[in-house]
Amino acid sequence: MIVCVCHRVSDQTIARAARSGMGFDDIQLELGVATQCGKCESCARAVWSECCRSHPLAHLQLEASSTPSSATIPLQLLTA
């Protein structure tokens, strides 16, 4: 079902983003949901909230993938 008519974003797209660990603000920036007329915000937040409850560890997966490991930090910075 299309949730955001202005940007043609479906509930499945919002759910997929939420399950990947994205916060609602991130979804707004990435997909444009609830950034134009605002009529879809309550429905979009409901879809996001439901997916966050069903995947409570999704945000940890996202944080872990965005945290640099020592393998990606240049050696000069580690020894300085």
Q: What does the pLDDT look like over 54-63, one tens digit per residue?
A: 766 555 554 5
Q: What CATH number should be reported for the domain holding residue 35?
A: 1.10.10.1100
Nearest to 49 by CA among 19, 28, 26: 19
Residue 2, pLDDT score? 97
Token pair belonging to 24 = 């609602």
Q: How far apart are CA 32 and CA 3, in angstroms?
A: 11
- Convert the pLDDT of each residue in 18-44 to its tens digit: 999 999 999 999 999 999 999 999 999
- Average pLDDT over the chain reads 81
Looking at the predicted structure, is the pLDDT value of residue 77 above 90?
no
Q: 42: domain range? A: 2-79
Number of domains in the chain: 1
Q: What pLDDT sits at residue 52?
A: 83
Are 20 and 52 a contacting pair, CB within 8 Å?
no
